[in-house]
Amino acid sequence: MPANKEEIEHLAGISLRQEFGLSTPNDLNSSVDDLISALGRAIAQLLQSQPEKLFQILYRLDVNENIVKTAFKEKAGEELCLTLAQKMVERQIQRIQIRQKYSGKSSEDSHH
């Protein structure tokens, strides 16, 4: 049975925080907005210091290349970083939902 929305968002938060090496806790009470804010700050740092690492993460998360290109064309600064963070969260949630749909396992099984 698929996990509920909160569980899926929680799992997405855990994996994205690991991806970015963020030590901020991701308890069930933290919102997607909190996650996007934290990721936005991490993205801003990567854009400044290691843009190639950011692009590797976007590729690994399988964020649509056209979405990324459009974001870079139309946005800048904090707005760009928050947009990229939002797209990463959306894609990670989508990936978890797809994995659960086709594995037939519950969210507890996907922790390991």
The string of pLDDT tens digits covering residues 36-63 is 999 999 999 999 999 999 999 999 999 9
Contact 95, 41 (CB under 8 A): no
The C-alpha torsion from 86 through 91 and 92 to 96, rounded to 10°, is 140
User: Which residues, 6+ apart, have CB-to-CB distance to 18 below 8 Å?
Assistant: none
Contact 6, 101 (CB under 8 A): no
Q: Quote the pLDDT of residue 1.
A: 44
Q: Where are the domains of the chain?
A: 5-103
- The rounded distance, in Å, linking the Cα atoms of 72 and 66 is 10
Per-residue pLDDT of the chain (112 residues; tens, 9 = 90+): 457 888 898 889 989 999 998 876 655 567 889 899 999 999 999 999 999 999 999 999 999 999 999 999 999 999 999 999 999 999 999 999 999 889 865 554 445 4
Q: Quote the pLDDT of residue 106.
A: 52
Q: Quote the pLDDT of residue 31.
A: 83
SS3 51: helix
DSSP element (H, E) containing 3: none
Q: Can you list the alpha helix ranges (DSSP code H) found in the chain?
A: 5-20, 32-49, 51-60, 65-74, 77-103
